[in-house]
Structure 1
Amino acid sequence: MTSDLMDKLKILADGAKYDVSCSSSGSSRRNGNGIGNAASCGICHTWTSDGRCVSLLKILMTNRCIYDCAYCVNRSSNDTKRVALTPAEVAELTIGFYRRNYIEGLFLSTGVVRSPDYTMELLIQAVRTLRSEYRFNGYIHLKLVPGADPLLVQEAGLWADRISVNLELPTRESLALLAPDKSRDAVVGPMRQVHSLIAINRDERRHSRTAPRFAPAGQSTQLIVGATPDTDRQIVTLSEQLYQRLELKRVYYSAFIPVMQDSRLPALPRSPLRREHRLYQADWLLRYYGFAAHELLDEATPNLDSELDPKTGWALRHRELFPVEINRASYEELLRVPGIGVRSAQRIIRARRQGHLGVEELQRLGVVMKRARYFVTARGRYAGDIRLESGLLRGRLIEPSQKKVVRQMSLPFETPVVDETASTVTGEL
């Protein structure tokens, strides 16, 4: 690798670090006659569900950009060194790193040069070169350029495993303030098109297994948290709509990190990482615990509690529903108990077929008793040392302030497995 290419790589890899929506595959593109296999890849610098540590080459094709988004380090008004890779260089770098066993796939994003269509054509050319010339079957996550022609969006999904376009900001007003060159329709339009094309492809695959796959790992997006005064309620409600209406695989949240001075940006140095952490926990509750956005947040409580995880906060606001008897509660009721996660709820359902469970058995089944004991009974016995109605209960449930919050980009699993006993960013729900 030449020194010039290495310099470009350093700049473009650094410019891509602010995009946290670097998803694991979920793809079924297996090795045919080429090299690489996307069927078991994971996210950057993390682990797949089978325990393997894998990585992706995460870069921008260029940090040049015609847009002037206030929150972006690559915005046109920022005084920074501008570089660009050609499609051939992207393909060469990817294959070179793969053959050295450094990576298992590619995450490719870019600034916008000339026009959305021109930029999208360059991205497609890079991944087409990888697939056609190098016969690379590894995982590819490709960013879509808002405003690109629908035909280019369709072609991108035929080459990539996962595609995504970042919403960045949750409301039209916020987007107009901080990214005036972009429109909400230009961002949401491709997402709707991708959703429709995935559904069509799914139907085609039912009739013919030889039909080409379109974005087999689905689509994802990212929201910036803290750059605008939008509430957590607005963000969580939007995420719920994206999951329900467009069947997104993931919505990622990125705490705003100021990289330059701008009068449009908030005066605070940065959005607390704990807020990002709480949003991921709320997101987990939407996807795997059966909660709705309006249950977690309403007009009276538009923002998540920074001291309590969202499920515990909900339980404290609905004490009339507790305690639940562990030997009679349904699976759905168990999932709503603080300290009981997906795995422990499943274990409880299985274990109580053999006999009634007592308080002593719950901890062995993975229940986090330091929280659950205030919300359950077992054989009629209440395990809490203070009553559920006590005003002291909230203080007992507050997490230690010194507990370190891990960034979402280190999430261990993309698969819907929640270990309520593990110290992951999702927390012990």
Structure 2
Amino acid sequence: MESRLIEKLSILADAAKYDVSCSSSGGKRRNENKGLGNAEGMGICHSYTEDGRCVSLLKILLTNHCIYDCAYCVTRKSNDVKRAAFTVQEVVDLTINFYRRNYIEGLFLSSGIFKNADYTMERLVRVAKKLRQEHKFNGYIHLKTIPGASEELIKEAGLYADRLSVNIELPSEMSLQQLAPEKSYKEVLEPMGSIRQQLAQASEEKKLFKSAPSFAPAGQSTQLIVGASAENDHQILQLSSQLYKDYSLKRVYYSGYVPISSDSRLPIMADPPIIRENRIYQADWLMRFYGFEAKEIVDEQHPHLDLDIDPKLGWALRHRHVFPVEVNTADYELLLRVPGIGIKSAQKIVSARRFAQLNFEHLRQMGVVLKRAKYFITCQTKSLQRQDVESELIRRKILFGEGSVRSALLKQQLDLFKQVG
């Protein structure tokens, strides 16, 4: 590989690391006619498939030149960074050569915006089209949709890509105007709406004609930056919930803001808010798979997630009146709300109790985390823990362990006796 191409790859792969909105989940493209690659069940860089396999993806920008000056973005036009741009053919060749060497299983391609949205989007589409049509590449392809691009280009992109994504970046129009005044929510939401309509249309056509072309079979996703603006967790999760309902998104990805400049519009922080990002991901998981509404996890009275405990435990401690739950009779939806009981263990409980009354040993074997669940369940009306324990004490026991809490209580008692004495 020539030195100039290696230099471009180094610059544009590094610039792409800030975009976390990539996933191959749902891609089912099969290898046909002795083509290259296969997207089924794989294709994402440093991510995991449902069966636990780690898979890889060439994740690059087409260019880090950009006409916009978004305060939070490393590729903004006023930032003093080394610039580079691939040609369409260079990206195609890199993808094919890396695939043949078994380095990757697919491509995630994004870009800064040069000239205008359509000019950039047209080049992204040409990369995917060349890979599919000229090289018969059947690996996973994820294309970033450029806000403001024409509906025709978006439709064409969906014919070649497994997944499309349009990044909102900031959780409110106000923050977008403050930190990225050249952008607008309208430019982001319009392509999202177009993708949703094309997905619905393609689904209906598939029902009538099996040979109908697929459109972005792995759906669409977006990304929100956490910590670059003042929105609280309540606002972020409310927006995510609305996006899932209105645009049928597969995923909303959250990226803790990485301090990259001294812009006065940005908050001062030493490190990315990784713990907050993780808690928001956990809350998002509860909304997508556990039946929680955003307003149940956070609300105006509790606008921030507890950074010390996961959102499910936080909800349970605030709703002690719902518990204890009798595992032999509670419905599936209620079992999912018990800390320490996951989707698989809840399914096993519902299935197994049809044949016999379950005890605590059965629950342990099913994968229930009893050190959490014991505060919220009974089994054949029996309990491993008193149910009148205060929420704060449960919280401390789960965080620090039974022994640590007993030691702390003993110390408090000794200190009290010393004061009395």
TM-score, length basis structure 1: 0.91
Alignment correspondent of 1:405: none
Deviation at 1:252, TM superposition (A): 0.4
The code of the aligned residue for 1:265 comes to L
Contact kept? 1:104, 1:138, Cα under 8 Å = yes
Alignment correspondent of 1:61: 62
In 2, Cα distance between equivalents of 1:39 and 1:271 = 34
In 1, Cα distance between equivalents of 2:8 and 2:344 = 45
In 2, Cα distance between equivalents of 1:205 and 1:367 = 41
Instruction: Please give the residue correspondences for 1:391-406 in structure 2 after superposition, counting only pairs within 5 Å.
Output: 391-398=392-399
Contact kept? 1:242, 1:248, Cα under 8 Å = yes
In 1, Cα distance between equivalents of 2:272 and 2:36 = 42
Contact kept? 1:140, 1:162, Cα under 8 Å = yes
In 1, Cα distance between equivalents of 2:184 and 2:194 = 16
Alignment correspondent of 1:334: 335
Deviation at 1:229, TM superposition (A): 0.7
SS in 1 for 2:60: strand
Would you say how many aligned residue pairs link Structure 1 and Structure 2? 400
Sort the Cα spacing of 1:388 and 1:113 in 2 relative to 1 into closer, same or farther, 3 A: same
Deviation at 1:390, TM superposition (A): 5.5
CA offsets 1:60-105 (integer angstroms, 9 cap, x no match) = 0000000001111000000011100000000000000000111110
Sort the Cα spacing of 1:90 and 1:233 in 2 relative to 1 into closer, same or farther, 3 A: same
In 1, Cα distance between equivalents of 2:263 and 2:400 = 35
Deviation at 1:272, TM superposition (A): 2.0
Deviation at 1:391, TM superposition (A): 4.2
CA offsets 1:179-226 (integer angstroms, 9 cap, x no match) = 111111001110011001100010011111111111011000000000
The code of the aligned residue for 2:352 comes to A
Contact kept? 2:374, 2:385, Cα under 8 Å = yes
Alignment correspondent of 1:228: 229
Alignment correspondent of 1:152: 153
The code of the aligned residue for 2:115 comes to R
Alignment correspondent of 1:416: none
In 2, Cα distance between equivalents of 1:239 and 1:52 = 28
In 1, Cα distance between equivalents of 2:54 and 2:302 = 40
Instruction: Please give the residue correspondences for 1:351-370 in structure 2 after superposition, counting only pairs within 5 Å.
Output: 351-370=352-371
Alignment correspondent of 2:188: 187
Instruction: Please give the residue correspondences for 1:200-239 in structure 2 after superposition, counting only pairs within 5 Å.
Output: 200-239=201-240
Alignment correspondent of 2:406: none
Instruction: Name which of structure 1's ranges 383-392 and 333-342 shifts more when overlaid on structure 2.
Output: 383-392
In 1, Cα distance between equivalents of 2:218 and 2:340 = 31
Instruction: Please give the residue correspondences for 1:356-395 in structure 2 after superposition, counting only pairs within 5 Å.
Output: 356-384=357-385, 387-389=388-390, 391-395=392-396
Alignment correspondent of 1:284: 285
Deviation at 1:271, TM superposition (A): 4.0
Alignment correspondent of 1:272: 273
Contact kept? 1:29, 1:38, Cα under 8 Å = yes
Deviation at 1:281, TM superposition (A): 0.4
The code of the aligned residue for 2:28 comes to S
In 2, Cα distance between equivalents of 1:274 and 1:286 = 19
Instruction: Please give the residue correspondences for 1:157-168 in structure 2 after superposition, counting only pairs within 5 Å.
Output: 157-168=158-169
SS in 2 for 1:252: strand
Alignment correspondent of 2:111: 110
Instruction: Name which of structure 1's ranges 46-55 and 199-208 shifts more when overlaid on structure 2.
Output: 46-55
The code of the aligned residue for 2:124 comes to L
CA offsets 1:8-59 (integer angstroms, 9 cap, x no match) = 0011000000001121241221111221111121421233223433201000
Instruction: Please give the residue correspondences for 1:276-315 in structure 2 after superposition, counting only pairs within 5 Å.
Output: 276-315=277-316
The code of the aligned residue for 2:177 comes to A
Deviation at 1:386, TM superposition (A): 6.5
In 2, Cα distance between equivalents of 1:390 and 1:27 = 43
In 2, Cα distance between equivalents of 1:124 and 1:74 = 21
Aligned-CA RMSD value = 1.3
CA offsets 1:293-347 (integer angstroms, 9 cap, x no match) = 1111111000101111101111111100100111110000100001100011011
Alignment correspondent of 1:414: none
Contact kept? 2:25, 2:49, Cα under 8 Å = no
In structure 2, stretches of 5+ residues that fail to align are 402-421
Alignment correspondent of 1:419: none
In 1, Cα distance between equivalents of 2:389 and 2:363 = 19
Contact kept? 1:25, 1:161, Cα under 8 Å = no
Contact kept? 1:374, 1:387, Cα under 8 Å = no
The code of the aligned residue for 1:94 comes to T
Alignment correspondent of 1:20: 20
SS in 2 for 1:315: helix
Deviation at 1:399, TM superposition (A): 6.6
In 2, Cα distance between equivalents of 1:390 and 1:105 = 48
SS in 1 for 2:18: coil
SS in 2 for 1:381: coil
Deviation at 1:395, TM superposition (A): 1.3
In 2, Cα distance between equivalents of 1:270 and 1:166 = 22
In 2, Cα distance between equivalents of 1:367 and 1:251 = 28
Sort the Cα spacing of 1:342 and 1:390 in 2 relative to 1 into closer, same or farther, 3 A: closer
In 2, Cα distance between equivalents of 1:38 and 1:23 = 11
Instruction: Name which of structure 1's ranges 41-50 and 193-202 shifts more when overlaid on structure 2.
Output: 41-50
Deviation at 1:270, TM superposition (A): 3.6
Contact kept? 1:255, 1:270, Cα under 8 Å = no
In 2, Cα distance between equivalents of 1:225 and 1:213 = 33
SS in 1 for 2:223: strand
Find runs of 4+ consecutive structure 1 residues off by over 4 angstroms.
none
Larger fraction in helix: 2
Alignment correspondent of 2:178: 177
Does the alignment pair 1:121 with 2:122? yes
In 2, Cα distance between equivalents of 1:382 and 1:2 = 68
Alignment correspondent of 1:4: 4
In 2, Cα distance between equivalents of 1:357 and 1:370 = 17
